[in-house]
Amino acid sequence: MLTYQKKTYEPHAAVFKALGHPVRLWIVSQLADEREHCVCEFVDKTTINFSTVSQHLQVLKGAGIVGDDKRGKQVYYKLLRPCILDFVACLKRRS
């Protein structure tokens, strides 16, 4: 008999929750090129301020989707779960 194990699914739910905002989905898509990006790059490509972009990146980091590396005053982010790109691509396809 199968039983529900909350602890098993909580980390997965956190990933879905983190991806539940259009800006965060866009950020993940931008990280598809497999290189690191600094916050300033995301700010330059949007009308969103630095603080807001940083907050979105912190949500993604908290869910284990992105990792960061601080270099001086800049923080660079990279995608830790590239399999998420497959899921995003799946969503973009129309049935």
Q: What is the CATH number of the domain that holds 21?
A: 1.10.10.10
Rg (CA), the chain: 15
Cα dihedral sign, 84-90-91-92: positive
Examine residue 74 and state whether it is found in any structural domain, yes or no.
yes
Token pair, residue 4, equals: 């529900």
Examine residue 40 and state whether it is found in any structural domain, yes or no.
yes
- How many folded domains does the chain comprise? 1
Token pair, residue 32, equals: 């598809």
pLDDT above 80: residue 73 = yes
Examine residue 1 and state whether it is found in any structural domain, yes or no.
no
pLDDT, residue 47, reads 94
Domain of residue 85 covers 11-92
Neighbours of 56 (CB within 10 A): 21
Partners of residue 69 on adjacent β-strands: 76
Token pair, residue 92, equals: 């973009």
* Residues 8-65 pLDDT 10s: 899 999 999 999 999 999 999 999 998 999 999 999 999 999 999 999 999 999 999 9
Examine residue 33 and state whether it is found in any structural domain, yes or no.
yes
Query: Alpha-carbon distance 37 to 84, whole Å?
Result: 17
Examine residue 2 and state whether it is found in any structural domain, yes or no.
no
